[in-house]
Structure formats: C-alpha cells, structure tokens
Structure 1
C-alpha cells in the first residue's frame, strides 16, 4: 500500500466530507448520503 499526503485548500466557511475506498459501492453510498441528507447541497463524487 502506498500512502500519499495531499495538500487541500478548503475555502473559509466550507464544510468537507472526505471518503476514500477502492470499492464502487462505497462511492455510491457516499453519493446517496449527500444527495438524500442535505437537500440543495453542492458536492462532487469521484471514483478512480
């Protein structure tokens, strides 16, 4: 396993939910929680 440190610039006043997985179902689960739990939220989900 390779671990990397990545610098992130988060705008002041922003909230961050960060999830990581190697399993596509987990990416879908994160999407469903954000879409269903926070009406009108702006977010993105990526999987690679």
Structure 2
C-alpha cells in the first residue's frame, strides 16, 4: 500500500503577487512517483 501526499511551495509578496507550486506524490515501496505533470521551466522571464 502507498502513501499519497502533496508538497506545496509558495511565495507571496503582499500587494504585488503570489505563486504556489503543488506536487502530488505517491510513495510506494519501489520509490516515489510524482503524479503532477507540470513542466519545470520558467516562461515569460527575460
């Protein structure tokens, strides 16, 4: 049987903006499997 959990990292600048990245992970005897399929690249920055 596995364990499912989320990792939620966030940065919030009051009056400016905020961003949160969430990963859903299942931990199995063979190792961790990330269920979220979001890209790991930053877009829109110079």
Taking structure 1 as the reference length, what is the TM-score of the superposition? 0.29
| Structure with bigger RCO (C-alpha 8 Å, 6+ apart) | 2
Radius of gyration: which is bigger? 2
TM-score by length of 2: 0.29
